[in-house]
């Protein structure tokens, strides 16, 4: 009986040591980088997680929702629509992205105790690309709006 308890305790504290390029990014990584680098960064990480976990339909829906959401956020922030603030929107995205993927990533983590999550440095690089694209979306929305509604 005591051996069974020891084995159970050891398996609960197993360190994730095997690096797997197909491993998803952790919920913490997605939350932090979507908060620091904007909605495109978080959406990109969640998209890749769904793709790595084999949920291609969810990945596509996430990508489409992220692009549309980014355009809406850019529009809201550029035109300073009343009752909104970038702080509120900044906290909204990480929560949405982490909630979207939590069950899927947690299930993977339980099934793959010996594997590490995806690289945080890779997530950082992808998030910085997302940040640059996010600012590009601001520019595009601003230019299109200026053409449609000249001041």
The angle at the Cα of 62, spanning 56 to 92, to the nearest 5 degrees, equals 150
End-to-end CA distance of the chain: 79
Secondary structure letter of residue 18 according to DSSP: B
Residue 57's pLDDT band, with cuts at 50, 70 and 90, is very high
Does 14 score more than 50 pLDDT?
A: no
Boundaries of every domain in the chain: 25-148
Is-contact 39 9, C-beta < 8 A?
A: no
State whether residue 82 is helix, strand or coil. coil
Q: Looking at residues 8-28, what average pLDDT do you find?
A: 62
Distance CA 127, CA 122 (A): 8
Q: pLDDT, tens digit, for every residue of 63-78?
A: 998 888 887 777 777 7
């Amino acid at each position: 009986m005591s051996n069974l308890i020891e084995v159970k305790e050891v398996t609960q504290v197993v360190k994730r040591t095997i690096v797997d390029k197909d491993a998803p990014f952790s919920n913490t990584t997605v939350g932090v980088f979507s908060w620091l680098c904007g909605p495109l960064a978080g959406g990109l990480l969640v998209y890749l997680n769904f793709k790595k976990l084999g949920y291609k339909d969810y990945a596509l829906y996430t990508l489409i929702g992220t692009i549309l959401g980014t355009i809406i956020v850019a529009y809201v922030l550029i035109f300073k629509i009343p009752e909104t603030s970038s702080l509120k929107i900044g906290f909204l995205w990480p929560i949405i992205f982490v909630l979207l993927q939590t069950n899927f990533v947690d299930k993977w983590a339980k099934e793959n105790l010996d594997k590490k999550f995806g690289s945080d440095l890779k997530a950082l690089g992808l998030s910085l690309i997302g940040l640059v694209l996010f600012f590009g979306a601001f520019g595009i929305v601003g230019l299109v709006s200026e053409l449609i509604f000249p001041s």
